[in-house]
Structure 1
Amino acid sequence: MVSMTHVPSGHISPAPVPPVPDPSGEEKENRSAALIVVAFPAFILIGAIVAFMFPATFAPLTNYINLFLTIIMFTMGLTLTVPDFQMVLKRPLPVFIGVVAQFVIMPGLAVLVAKMMGLNPALAVGLLMLGSVPGGTSSNVIAFLCRGDVALSVTMTSVSTMVSPIMTPILMLLLSGTATEVDGAGMAWSLVQTVLLPVVIGLTLRVFLSRWINRIMPVLPWLSILGIGGVVFGAVANNAERLLSVGLIVFAAVIVHNVLGYVLGYYTGRLFRFSEPVNRTMAVEIGTQSAGLASGMAGRFFSPEAALPGAVAAVVHNITGAIYTAIVRNRPVEPVAVPEKVAVG
């Protein structure tokens, strides 16, 4: 996942915030966060176009999917701290509701959208994989920019990531249908290796080597972006010919799935009468998935074509996040404390 110090796509950890925010510092932080939100999809989009035009050059990247996924999740782990998980005890209801809603709404929407749009089995299972993976790489930055509850965003991303080795295979087994064979045990073990272990190792290093890790924190988001690029560019190269025939329907399906996730996520918060910052965070966390992980896992366990929804989502999710930020950022919210940590998971 994309990560960084108080200058945001992984996780973002700022320096201690003074009691009275420095307007110039806040403005600088906003610009840094906005740069990540713009640079990430731009890099993925440009790289995907090049991979589409020169597929032979990028196709070998698929041999290193596990390595790329490990890099993404390890950088996320390096940006986590123990207090990120303490909110589960301090504010259990919004964390619990948010994570449960994410693993209910997005897989359910994936099945619904696939049926409504008549997706073929490969694209349908790829969209389901996208809906069944944990929170996305830029969700915490988007939550920060749209004036959401950043601490909640960090915790939701962390918790959904830690439980994904259990939840993702179960959802794929239950919802993929009889036409698609799912290796649930293999998928669970793969997620343990490429998600859980790298995150735990990264978190452990952060605890014991925090001073050194803090020095390299600004580099971590870019390492994560490169890892996501490796997954996406390989998927595009392997599907260059298929994209000519299914590209538009894949983009449409991913956009509808993503936007509906934002809407239902926001109104889930409203249903439980949470504050406006929490509602915005629910929208972002539920609507934004770990696209690189989805693409890599779908390509590995199903087919190259199944990796396309995740590859497309790596661009779409960040663009819709930027649009959502532009729509809601200047709307009033209740006063909230200055966030102690921003993280992109």
Structure 2
Amino acid sequence: MEMTTEILMSTMNTTGNGTIDGGNDVVTLLSQVSNILILVFLMISMGCTIELEDLKETFRHSAGFFVGMLCQFVLMPLIAFCLSLTFKLEGAGALSVLILACCPGGTLSNLFTYWTEGDVCLSVCMTSVSTAVAIGMMPLNLFIYSRVWTDDKAVIPYVNIATTLVSILIPVAFGVFLRWWKKEWTKYVTRFGVVLAFILIIVVWVLFFMLNPTWLFAGWQLWICAVLLPFLGYGFGYSLAILFRQPHFKCRAISFETGSQNVSLASTLIVVSFADSPLFLDMLFYPGLYAVFLYIDSFIVIMLMKGVMHLKKRRNSANDEDHDENKNDKIGLDNEGMATDQEDGVKVVAMKQIVADNSVKTDEEIKV
């Protein structure tokens, strides 16, 4: 789960005299603790679903990785750039949309993949790899696309990227170890972790609305972009994965990894790079909007995927039943054919016996 960081929350909640409201300090602390717990429990739960053989298989067949990286660092920035031009966003809005799209995938994509029975191992590996690759790809993409709106050079938060990577790898490694050591425990650990993470996500949502009421005042263009960006990421990610002949359970993982971005990292980059810019305050709107619609869009997509999967299972079940009926009918026909053959065989034997008896009688009559 990614929301805004402490520095972003503090900036958005200063009072008129420039001091931080003490009540907001408590809410901010609660939000931070909740985010940490979500990350830890969620990634341990995801690690508990991964076998060591799954990891070997994922790295052995790395086509999914390349498709995911293509979607994450080529497709998403291009989509954000096109959205910004299409809706004629001003500098602050366009830059915030672009920055968020250039960030690597967030850990929520792993949860969404788990809920839709996707390839969780691929999802977790892609999150880790994309976070590492972002060290080079984020500055490159921002240099390519941001020139239209600003000449300011974005400062990449390398420490935050490294921290995010470590915070993903350690809990996942613990979950994988737990599955290897006590596999019978992992079912309960996964269920507990996922349920707890979901409850804490709701808590963080409430805290976010308490801390950041200003996102409601964003322009309608930003609202549309916040709605469309996850949908477009999911749709294009899935389509590109299909184009590269990936199986559907991998397509779901690639789709969620493409459309679900690391909001916390984007917020940090905005604060670090543009705190002294006149665009700064206006740039804070979009991460909050995106975080809200990420859940809404994802819920809709998850329900659609589950509906399609349910229909496919019903169709396959019906086909299996038809196949069994046809097989039983064929067996019945074969049995009837065997019975008929047996009856015919008995008749032939009886006729031969009658002929033989008649022959014996005829011989006896001739002798007489």
Question: Are the counterparts in 1 of residues 118 and 250 from structure 2 also a CA contact under 8 Å?
Answer: yes
| Residue number in structure 2 paired with 1:256 | 228
Larger mean CA deviation between 110-119 and 94-103 belongs to: 94-103
CA, structure 1 residues 156+323, in 2 after alignment: closer, same or farther (shift >3 Å)? Answer: same
Question: Are the counterparts in 2 of residues 126 and 298 from structure 1 also a CA contact under 8 Å?
Answer: yes
CA, structure 1 residues 197+149, in 2 after alignment: closer, same or farther (shift >3 Å)? Answer: closer
> Within 1, Cα distance between the matches of 2:208 and 2:89?
20
Mapping of residues 10-29 of structure 1, within 5 Å: none
Matched, 1:272 2:249: no
Question: Are the counterparts in 1 of residues 122 and 253 from structure 2 also a CA contact under 8 Å?
Answer: yes
Residue 264 of structure 1 and its aligned partner are, at CA, apart by 1.0
> Within 1, Cα distance between the matches of 2:157 and 2:59?
30
| Residue number in structure 2 paired with 1:236 | 212
Which of 159, 164, 168 in structure 2 is aligned with 1:199?
168
| Residue number in structure 2 paired with 1:295 | 267
- TM-score normalised by length of structure 2: 0.61
- TM-score normalised by length of structure 1: 0.65
> Within 1, Cα distance between the matches of 2:112 and 2:80?
22
- AA aligned to 2:96 is G
CA, structure 1 residues 267+85, in 2 after alignment: closer, same or farther (shift >3 Å)? Answer: same
Question: Are the counterparts in 2 of residues 235 and 311 from structure 1 also a CA contact under 8 Å?
Answer: no
Considering only CA atoms, is the larger Rg found in Structure 1 or Structure 2?
2
- AA aligned to 1:255 is V
CA, structure 1 residues 72+127, in 2 after alignment: closer, same or farther (shift >3 Å)? Answer: farther
CA, structure 1 residues 94+259, in 2 after alignment: closer, same or farther (shift >3 Å)? Answer: same
Residue 209 of structure 1 and its aligned partner are, at CA, apart by 8.2
Q: Relative to total residues, which structure has the larger helix share, 1 or 2?
A: 2
| Residue number in structure 1 paired with 2:332 | none
Matched, 1:221 2:221: no
| Residue number in structure 2 paired with 1:114 | 84
Indicate the SS of the match to 1:330: helix
Question: Are the counterparts in 2 of residues 65 and 296 from structure 1 also a CA contact under 8 Å?
Answer: no
Q: Percent identity?
A: 25
| Residue number in structure 2 paired with 1:146 | 116
Q: Over aligned residue pairs, what C-alpha RMSD do you find?
A: 4.3
Question: Are the counterparts in 2 of residues 110 and 128 from structure 1 also a CA contact under 8 Å?
Answer: yes
| Residue number in structure 2 paired with 1:47 | none
Residue 66 of structure 1 and its aligned partner are, at CA, apart by 9.0
Question: Are the counterparts in 2 of residues 299 and 305 from structure 1 also a CA contact under 8 Å?
Answer: no
| Residue number in structure 2 paired with 1:130 | 100
Residue 205 of structure 1 and its aligned partner are, at CA, apart by 5.9
Deviations 1:212-252 (A, max 9, x none): 99798745726974896599558725xx2x742x2432221
- AA aligned to 1:141 is L
Mapping of residues 1-345 of structure 1, within 5 Å: 1=1, 57-58=23-24, 78=44, 80=47, 83=52, 85-177=55-147, 179-184=150-155, 186-192=156-162, 194-202=163-171, 218=192, 221=197, 225=201, 232=208, 236-237=212-213, 240=214, 243-244=216-217, 246-302=218-274, 303-332=280-309
Question: Are the counterparts in 1 of residues 142 and 154 from structure 2 also a CA contact under 8 Å?
Answer: no
- AA aligned to 1:305 is D
> Within 2, Cα distance between the matches of 1:176 and 1:61?
34
Question: Are the counterparts in 2 of residues 146 and 324 from structure 1 also a CA contact under 8 Å?
Answer: no
Residue 110 of structure 1 and its aligned partner are, at CA, apart by 0.8
Deviations 1:151-189 (A, max 9, x none): 3223222322333333323322332216141344x5234
Residue 131 of structure 1 and its aligned partner are, at CA, apart by 0.7
Indicate the SS of the match to 1:329: helix
Residue 268 of structure 1 and its aligned partner are, at CA, apart by 0.1
- AA aligned to 2:221 is I
Gaps of 5+ in 2: 4-12, 14-19, 275-279, 314-368
Indicate the SS of the match to 1:168: helix
| Residue number in structure 2 paired with 1:32 | none
- AA aligned to 2:197 is P
> Within 2, Cα distance between the matches of 1:327 and 1:208?
34
> Within 1, Cα distance between the matches of 2:32 and 2:136?
18
> Within 1, Cα distance between the matches of 2:108 and 2:152?
31
> Within 2, Cα distance between the matches of 1:236 and 1:301?
20
Question: Are the counterparts in 2 of residues 110 and 127 from structure 1 also a CA contact under 8 Å?
Answer: yes
Residue 295 of structure 1 and its aligned partner are, at CA, apart by 2.9
